[in-house]
């Protein structure tokens, strides 16, 4: 039985999330060098007047539509981390990737207009590290062909 | 230099509808840091003497601190204004998500002056600030108003502060509801906002908050979080929020029962964490950047009050609208809490006004009607009174909407002993008869009866050590020094702007480390005490200038004349002589003369530089 590479992604536990947004600030610091949860790559949906918080993070899809729609092949899978990554140097700001992201987790920077997304922080996601509530978890999922 | 200030203050003149932004002067950063310090100095310098708190000349100032909007654990923001309830300095703090958004929108502070001719809200996003007509939202409750603005702007991501009908009607203890359900509760900042015809502020920013030394900041963050997770107080808050204090305050005889006539209540067990967790709680929620998450979210699912989402019923609310009114069903208290939040009034002052009315009716000073039975335990009447207060409805609504001090003055001398307040601000839920240090903290707090400007109760009720010696509850000696020290440190760290709950874990050394790393200034742990002392002198000058009478630096008569009927400190009261001793000692330690006035030497020593002036 042939083994494929493990799928690596961040699993969310909404039942543990308190909405504190430390994940989003850690993300904006990693990507842009400053704190602002509005500029993080993940989002939190606050439901029912804060009775529930649903964190939404890029799942590094096995079938990444963002990658398929990119007209300039700026999106690819990183061989080392298995993350789906955007090369901002190639990005032409066409917005197609964010339009076809079902989870709405591709971020467009208002300054540069370039697309940004979760790159798993080169394999050590800061959001997972800073979450005090263990609502985010880095998962390596080994799948076998035919299963 | 990258540092955690945005280096920009926005002044909004509502009379002219104009905006003006400027850099905060360096001396303000050096002398007052941010948050409370900035607010204290700005108020002193920009609000003219004897200004009407509800007039256009009063300023309404939203302030962040150098650690607000960073991941430094448990940071908040504050609003500072001249209070319509006390006619004195007012600072009111709020967690949640609105505070940090002020910085993400690009500002350290927002200063409102003047009065708009018609209702408006302020909107700030990447296009800058604009004032938007709000006639269609005026009249809506504080929670509905938030949702309406999001719909109007077609964007759920705005962080919004609103007032409810009570703020619009200028009830002097109206609050500002800050996203989400975090109230700038005490002292009537909501009434000032209403007087300016400002319904709301909606912010969505894309500016980054930068750090001077990121490596050092990361180390400090690790240290701060470790201190929080190792703190028993913080662990308690993680488990049960402030609801955990209900049974503690009952056991120690500090909880208000029947308008503070007693200090214990058989209802405490039902209203505390055990009762609430059974009837209400479902999940936890945190303010921005907080690892404590003291908020236990819940819902009233069944019964006559069903159904609505309820935040935790905080200790103050559980006591003031619960035990204090002899209402023992946590769902009923959650309902009253929700009404106050929607209508936009402070639950502490509301509780004191209602218990005042109930007791006044018992004493024959107010009359019940067929529709409104003013009696302890009547949750329906409490709900009706909250509505009447918020809308200033009928003679009783008008009477109580002024707060207990003015209501008692109007009702006549028989009502005065029932008015539980200091300097016009209603008492919070920690009766001081067995803990005179707490009494002194109330007598001297800059905004009137407040438990958050110094909380010696934590030492007195538990015998916790202060400077290596256990604090004895009933002793008077040393209490002034304890109050002085606690007040200074809290004011100093209220410039960051810290949350009191985070401060139960994070040490002064670690706050100094976080601040040094964030701003690039070299700061020692003792800095906060020195800064706090400067602030207490600054707010003191303001309050004296505005006519504060030191004869009002005393406790309500009940605590002085009636011995506590039950609890471990049964039989105790704080006598006139006790108060005299405490206040004399306190003035001396503060370096104030016998009239409570800072001497010129004290001002110089504490660094209050009156030759400087903050200008708009």
Question: HEC string of B137-170?
Answer: CCCCCHHHHHHHHHHHCCCCCCEEEECCHHHHCC
Percent of chain A with pLDDT over 90: 88
Q: Reply yes or no on whether the pLDDT at B569 is more than 90.
A: yes
The confidence score (pLDDT) of residue A147 equals 44
The answer to whether the Cβ–Cβ distance between B295 and A20 falls below 8 Å is no
Computed from CA positions of residues B517, B519, B522, B524, in that sequence, does the dihedral angle turn out positive or negative? negative
Residue A4 lies in a domain: no
The alpha carbon of B82 is separated from its chain's Cα centroid by a whole number of angstroms, namely 14
A129: contact with B, CB 8 A cutoff: no
Distance from CA of B434 to the nearest CA of A (A): 38
Among B241, B150, B287, residue whose Cα is nearest residue A53 = B287
Q: How far apart are CA B508 and CA B391, in angstroms?
A: 44
B299: contact with A, CB 8 A cutoff: yes
Distance from CA of B146 to the nearest CA of A (A): 11
How many structural domains are present in chain A? 1
Q: Reply yes or no on whether the pLDDT at A142 is more than 90.
A: no
Among B200, B122, B202, B111, residue whose Cα is nearest residue B163 = B200
Domain ranges in chain B with CATH number 1.10.599.10: 436-606
- Residue A8, judged by CB atoms within 10 A of its CB (0-12, 13-18, 19+), counts as middle
The confidence score (pLDDT) of residue A1 equals 45
CB count within 10 Å of CB B473 equals 22
The confidence score (pLDDT) of residue B2 equals 55
- Provide, as residue numbers in chain A, all residues whose Cβ is less than 8 Å from the Cβ of B205: 36, 38
Q: CATH number for the domain including A73?
A: 3.30.70.20
pLDDT interval class at A6 (50, 70, 90): confident
The mean pLDDT value of chain B amounts to: 97
pLDDT tens for B84-132 read 999 999 999 999 999 999 999 999 999 999 999 999 999 999 999 999 9
What's the whole-number mean pLDDT along residues B135-157?
98
Q: CATH: 3.40.720.10, 1.10.3720.10, 1.10.1740.10, 1.10.569.10. Which one for B242-422?
A: 1.10.569.10
Distance from CA of A41 to the nearest CA of B (A): 13
Fold that domain B436-606 belongs to in CATH = 1.10.599
Percent of chain B with pLDDT over 90: 100
Kind plus residue range of the DSSP H or E element containing B107: none
In chain B, the residue whose alpha carbon lies closest to the alpha carbon of A111 is B206
Residue A93 lies in a domain: yes
pLDDT tens for B430-454 read 999 999 999 999 999 999 999 999 9
Q: Reply yes or no on whether the pLDDT at B592 is more than 50.
A: yes
pTM: 0.97
Q: How far apart are CA B495 and CA B539, in angstroms?
A: 14
A21: contact with B, CB 8 A cutoff: yes
Domain ranges in chain B with CATH number 3.60.9.10: 9-203
Domain ranges in chain B with CATH number 1.10.569.10: 242-422
The answer to whether the Cβ–Cβ distance between B104 and A26 falls below 8 Å is no
The whole domain housing A115 covers: 10-137
| Extended beta strands in B425-552, E state | 425-426, 465-466, 469-470
Q: CATH: 3.60.9.10, 3.30.450.20, 3.30.300.30, 3.30.1330.40. Which one for B9-203?
A: 3.60.9.10
Residue A146 lies in a domain: no
């Amino acid at each position: 039985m042939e083994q494929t590479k493990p799928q690596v992604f961040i699993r969310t536990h909404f039942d543990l999330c308190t909405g504190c947004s430390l994940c989003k600030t850690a993300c904006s610091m990693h990507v842009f060098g400053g704190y602002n949860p509005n500029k993080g790559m993940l989002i939190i949906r606050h439901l029912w007047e804060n009775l529930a918080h649903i964190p939404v993070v890029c799942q590094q899809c096995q079938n990444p539509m963002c990658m398929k729609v990119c007209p300039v092949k700026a999106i690819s899978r990183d061989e080392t981390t298995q993350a789906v990554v955007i090369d901002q140097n190639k990005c032409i700001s066409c917005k197609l990737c964010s339009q076809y992201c079902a989870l709405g987790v591709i971020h467009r920077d208002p300054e540069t207009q370039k697309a940004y997304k979760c790159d798993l922080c080169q394999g050590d996601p800061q959001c997972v590290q800073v979450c005090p509530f263990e609502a985010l978890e880095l998962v390596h999922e080994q799948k076998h062909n035919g299963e | 230099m990258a540092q955690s200030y945005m280096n920009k203050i926005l002044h909004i003149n509502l009379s002219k509808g104009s905006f003006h932004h400027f850099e905060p002067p360096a001396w303000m950063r050096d002398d007052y840091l941010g948050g409370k310090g900035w607010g204290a100095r700005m108020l002193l310098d920009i609000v003219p003497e004897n200004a009407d708190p509800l007039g256009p000349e009063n300023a309404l100032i939203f302030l962040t601190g150098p650690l607000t909007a960073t991941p430094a654990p448990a940071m908040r923001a504050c609003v500072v204004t001249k209070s319509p309830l006390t006619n004195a300095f007012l600072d009111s703090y709020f967690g949640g998500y609105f505070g940090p958004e002020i910085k993400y929108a690009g500002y350290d502070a927002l200063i409102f002056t003047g009065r708009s001719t018609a209702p408006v809200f302020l909107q700030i996003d990447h296009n800058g600030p604009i004032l938007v007509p709000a006639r269609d939202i005026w009249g809506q409750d504080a929670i509905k108003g938030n949702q309406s603005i999001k719909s109007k702007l077609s964007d759920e991501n705005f962080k919004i502060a609103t007032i409810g009908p009570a703020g619009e009607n200028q009830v002097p203890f109206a609050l500002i509801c800050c996203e989400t359900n975090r109230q700038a509760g005490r002292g009537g900042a909501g009434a000032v906002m209403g007087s300016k015809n400002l319904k709301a502020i909606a912010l969505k920013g894309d500016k980054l908050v930068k750090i001077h030394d990121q490596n050092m900041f990361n180390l400090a963050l690790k240290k701060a979080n470790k201190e929080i997770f190792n703190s028993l107080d913080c662990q308690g808050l993680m488990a049960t929020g402030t609801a955990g204090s209900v049974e503690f305050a009952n056991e120690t005889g500090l909880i208000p029962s029947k308008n503070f006539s007693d200090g214990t209540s058989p209802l405490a067990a039902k209203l505390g964490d055990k009762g609430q967790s059974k009837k209400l709680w479902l999940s936890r929620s945190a303010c921005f950047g907080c690892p404590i998450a003291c908020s236990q979210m819940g819902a009233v699912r069944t019964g006559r009050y069903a159904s609505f989402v309820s935040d935790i019923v905080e200790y103050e609310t559980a006591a003031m609208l619960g035990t204090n009114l002899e209402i023992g069903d946590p769902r009923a208290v959650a309902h009253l809490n929700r009404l106050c939040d929607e209508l936009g009034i402070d639950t502490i002052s509301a509780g004191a006004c209602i218990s005042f009315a109930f007791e006044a009716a018992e004493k024959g000073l107010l009359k019940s009607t067929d529709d409104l039975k003013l009696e302890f335990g009547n949750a329906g009447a409490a709900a009706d009174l909250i509505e009447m207060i918020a809308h200033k409805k009928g003679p009783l609504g008008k009477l109580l909407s002024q707060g207990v001090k003015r209501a008692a003055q109007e009702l006549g001398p028989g009502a005065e002993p029932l008015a539980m307040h200091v300097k016009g601000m209603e008492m919070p839920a920690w009766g001081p008869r067995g803990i005179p240090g707490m009494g002194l903290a109330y007598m001297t707090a800059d905004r009137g009866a407040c438990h958050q400007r110094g909380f010696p109760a934590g030492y007195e009720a538990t015998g916790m050590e202060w400077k290596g010696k256990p604090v004895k509850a009933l002793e008077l000696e040393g209490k002034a020094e304890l109050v002085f020290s606690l007040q200074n440190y809290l004011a100093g760290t209220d410039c960051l702007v810290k949350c009191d709950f985070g401060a139960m874990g994070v040490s002064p050394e670690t706050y100094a480390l976080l601040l040094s790393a964030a701003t690039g200034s070299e700061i020692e742990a003792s800095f906060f005490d020195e800064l706090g002392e400067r602030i207490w002198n600054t707010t003191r000058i303001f309050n004296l200038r505005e006519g504060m009478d030191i004869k009002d630096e005393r406790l309500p008569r009940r605590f002085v004349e009636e011995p506590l009927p039950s609890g471990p400190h049964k039989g105790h009261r704080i006598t006139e002589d006790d108060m005299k001793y405490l206040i004399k000692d306190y003035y001396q330690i503060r370096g104030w003369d016998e009239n409570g006035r800072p001497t010129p030497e004290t001002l110089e020593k504490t660094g209050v530089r009156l030759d400087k002036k903050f200008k708009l």
